[in-house]
Chains A and B, each alone.
Chain A
Amino acid sequence: MADRLPHYVNPDPFDVQAVERLTPEQERYYLASQWKLIWWRFKRHRLALISGIVLLLSYLAIVVVEFLAPYELHTRNTGYIYAPPQMVRLVHDGQLIGPFVYGLRFELNLETLKREYVVDRTDVQRLRFFCRGDPYQFWGLVPGDLHLVCPAKDGTLFLLGTDRLGRDMASRLLYGGRISLTVGLLGITISFLIGITVGGLAGFFGGWVDNVVQRLIEIIRSVPELPLWMALSAALPITWSPILIYLGITVILGLLDWPGLARAVRSKLLALREEDFCQAARLMGARPSRIIGRHLLPNFMSHLIASATLSIPAMILGETALSFLGLGLRPPITSWGVLLTEAQNIEAVALYPWLLMPMLPVIVTVLAFNFLGDGLRDAADPYE
């Protein structure tokens, strides 16, 4: 017993890096929060990053539509019905004179009765910037008339042509974006709330609750969505005001979309529920609401956001399809789907193909949301 070594205590403070010295980069990585890790991983996904930026810009744009659009939503240029898109040019007669468009001269083709416009190469119409143009009500509240870009005095600026009432397509597309892009967000909020609640209940309590929810989800998923959407939106009373119809459509879109989310929440919860930290919290007497909110939700929030992003396109397309069929939004509310109803007349489209333009933002938005969602999903679990 006596020859035992004396107990040695190092007086220096313990150095956590005694075993392995971390480089600054490593340290930064190990200390980073979950959201930071997600961001780093997401950044590597080029396409997703670009899509995110595109979407961010579009959502910023719809905030100030009135300022960006050269014309007001309902402005009719009666002299320019079905006018073709005008190209913005910089060089006239070999001279750089800044952005301008050539004027249009209207001619009616007496044989085909087609409206034809000739570009008048002598009529130079220089664009004005930060100018006074069509008066508008900013978000329907504040009157104003400042525009980013206006046509020249007595000139025209139809970047994407005009429709059958001589309204500027480009401006209408911008205004339409305000409706079409927000429909998806509102709809996903509703479906998100339902999905989290229902999926959370099923996943947390299990047993018969889970069984009932599972069956319900299976049933809803086996019904084709669009016909049901059609039936529901046909049931909206015609007497409702446009804004009520708009809200009604978002509710309808959200009402059928939640099963996918609920299923994701449920399976994640079932897996996490068995983890040790959850068990510990329960043993310490935490209430279910605290366990769900404090310990479980943060763990799969990123997954939820990713799957929500992936289901926004379906909503945007749903609204477009419904409005296109005449069951969804109706003028004076203008969404991309409402604009596309003009393209239902295929003979008109054959003569004036720019009526198909509203397709472009729809496809771009849907693609962007898909890429963004893919990137988010890949980045959602940084500890993998």
Chain B
Amino acid sequence: MLVYLARRVLTMLLTLLVISALVFVIIQLPPGDYLTSYIAQLEAQGEIVARERIEFLRQQYGLDRPMIEQYAVWVFGLVQGDLGYSFEYSRPVSEVVGDRLLLSLVLNFSTVLFIYIVAFPIGVYSATHQYSWGDHGLTFLGFLGLATPNFLLALIMMYLANVWFGTSIGTLMAEEFIDQPWSVDKAMSVLAHLWIPVIVIGTSGTAGMIRRLRANLLDELQKQYVVTGRAKGLPPGRLLVRYPLRMALNPFVADIGNLLPQVVSGSVIVSAVMSLQTTGPMLLSALQSQDMYLAGSFLMFLAVLTVVGMFLSDVLLAVLDPRIRMHGKAG
């Protein structure tokens, strides 16, 4: 188990390192840097920018150094919790993002939780009542949920809320709590607003999860030991819970590797559409204004979120399934 854990931690760190390099390259891709556009903007406003000042700014932000050095500085900063400097806001990134990272975490975590809680009973019902009306209906709903893109669902929900209740649902907390320190009331307000984005982001994931759980459980239910158990007179409930369900649960947990990137992707665009106080909208504006450290931090944060989540699910899986511990890898 320890060997497995150590190997898994190492892979995770390596993955994160590669992703950080990738993110750094991507945020460097646009021609010019923020300073160039900043200077252009100043000049357009009729200000004369002294050469010394430009050089000073360049040096201060480390833009004059070679690429690899900039990358090293950035990564070491990240490790130490220094997220860099936002050019657009002229403040350190960590100050700009505020509790957006935390809220993103809460949003994504609740969505995953929602998917599991909803998908589990429905999947089990569908499998045990195969080809019943309930199963057909749920399968159809599942297909619809799978095909409706989450940001379109967000639009529809916002439209309906506007038409029926005349209110905007595009927020994560009541207005008076925005930019306020955390308090019990604020947390309650967030909880009260959280469920709409959670449903919107979670729908397609839930639909996919139901389909997979149903397929897994159906496979399991056709196996001989189930027939034997039934022949020996085990009560149906116990027969289901005792073995097949446990076997079908395995891929359920393993699937988080597919689920997490999907949920994080979904939360970004849904947040942008509904302008939630999470990373999504700010990532969008940072990308548009080429505020590279801010965008880079967000991208990195989202990647860390998925990679660490997958790591945790792998560890959980190893605890559940001795075969994985022994072989040292999943599958």
- With A and B bound together, what is the CA distance between A324 and B152 in angstroms? 10
Q: Which residue in B14, B148, B163, B306 is a CB contact (below 8 Å) of A223?
A: B306
Q: Is B269 an interface residue (CB 8 A)?
A: yes
Contact A370 B143 (CB under 8 A): yes
- With A and B bound together, what is the CA distance between A350 and B155 in angstroms? 11
Q: Is B310 an interface residue (CB 8 A)?
A: yes
Q: Is B261 an interface residue (CB 8 A)?
A: yes
Contact A222 B288 (CB under 8 A): no
Q: Is A359 an interface residue (CB 8 A)?
A: yes
Contact B146 A218 (CB under 8 A): no
Kindly provide the distance from the CB of A109 to the nearest chain B CB, expressed in whole angstroms.
17
Contact B268 A224 (CB under 8 A): yes
Contact B148 A235 (CB under 8 A): no
Q: Is B235 an interface residue (CB 8 A)?
A: no
Sort chain B's interface into a size bin. 35 or more
B residues 137-175 near A (Cβ < 8 Å) are: 143-144, 146-149, 151-152, 155-156, 158-159, 162-163, 168, 170
With a cutoff of 8 Å between Cβ atoms, the chain A residues found around residue B307 in the complex are 222
With a cutoff of 8 Å between Cβ atoms, the chain B residues found around residue A313 in the complex are 147
Q: Is B302 an interface residue (CB 8 A)?
A: yes
- With A and B bound together, what is the CA distance between A347 and B155 in angstroms? 11
Contact A356 B159 (CB under 8 A): yes
Contact B26 A231 (CB under 8 A): yes
Contact A366 B287 (CB under 8 A): no
Q: A230-B283, A370-B146 are in contact. Are A221 and B162 (CB under 8 A)?
A: no
With a cutoff of 8 Å between Cβ atoms, the chain A residues found around residue B31 in the complex are 237
With a cutoff of 8 Å between Cβ atoms, the chain B residues found around residue A359 in the complex are 152, 155-156
Contact A234 B30 (CB under 8 A): yes
With a cutoff of 8 Å between Cβ atoms, the chain B residues found around residue A347 in the complex are 162
Kindly provide the distance from the CB of A382 to the nearest chain B CB, expressed in whole angstroms.
21
- With A and B bound together, what is the CA distance between A327 and B289 in angstroms? 11
Residue interface bits B259-297, CB-to-A below 8 A is 1, else 0:
011101110110011000000000110011010000100
Q: Is B132 an interface residue (CB 8 A)?
A: no
Contact B265 A224 (CB under 8 A): yes
Q: A218-B15, A223-B303 are in contact. Are A321 and B151 (CB under 8 A)?
A: yes
Q: Which residue in A230, A235, A363 is a CB contact (below 8 Å) of B152?
A: A363
With a cutoff of 8 Å between Cβ atoms, the chain B residues found around residue A224 in the complex are 260-262, 264-265, 268, 302-303, 306
Q: Is A227 an interface residue (CB 8 A)?
A: yes
Contact B147 A226 (CB under 8 A): no
With a cutoff of 8 Å between Cβ atoms, the chain A residues found around residue B162 in the complex are 346-347, 349-350
Contact B268 A235 (CB under 8 A): no
With a cutoff of 8 Å between Cβ atoms, the chain B residues found around residue A221 in the complex are 257, 261
A residues 312-343 near B (Cβ < 8 Å) are: 313, 317, 320-321, 324-327, 340, 343
Q: Is A225 an interface residue (CB 8 A)?
A: yes
A-binding residues in B (CB < 8 A): 14-15, 18-19, 22-23, 26-27, 29-31, 143-144, 146-149, 151-152, 155-156, 158-159, 162-163, 168, 170, 257, 260-262, 264-266, 268-269, 272-273, 283-284, 287-288, 290, 295, 298-299, 302-303, 306-307, 310
B-binding residues in A (CB < 8 A): 215, 218-219, 221-228, 230-232, 234-235, 237, 313, 317, 320-321, 324-327, 340, 343-344, 346-347, 349-350, 353, 356, 359, 362-363, 366-367, 370
